[in-house]
Amino acid sequence: MAYISADLVKSGHPPITEVMSHYDNKLDFIQDLESYIRAGVIISTPKFFIMGKPVDSKVDPKGQWYAEKPDAWFVKLASGRGAMKYFKHLVQPLSKVIFSRYKNGEFSAFKIYDWEKITRRI
């Protein structure tokens, strides 16, 4: 098991600052943060930030909450080094990981990976 260690808490440019820069309206970020606190997973340290939720990969993950039969983790936001390393140890493995892509000022494109393949590479 991976433990949160003291070396993750160092001064510098926190990844959450970079994550917030993708939002024109900071209230949208606060709303996303609140939603993921209620029904997802957030891991935030001065070295990395990751925000995800369990979803059914056959359904658009954007508006999906409390999936009855989740088969994937949807990672809306991730920044910094080590985020997935800790995420893979702290969540129940599902068959896939879906990453949100930020392109042309929108969170729209998705990249889907097999859980086993991606966690072996980390």
Tokens of 7: 């070396």
Domain boundaries, the chain: 13-121
- Mind giving me the DSSP string for 38-100? HHSEEEE-SSEEEEEEEE-TTS-STT--S-SS--EEEEEEEEETTHHHHHHHHS---SEEEEE
Q: Which residues pair with 100 in a beta bridge?
A: 110
The pLDDT tens digits for 23-66 are 889 999 999 999 999 999 999 888 889 999 999 999 989 889 99
Report pTM: 0.83
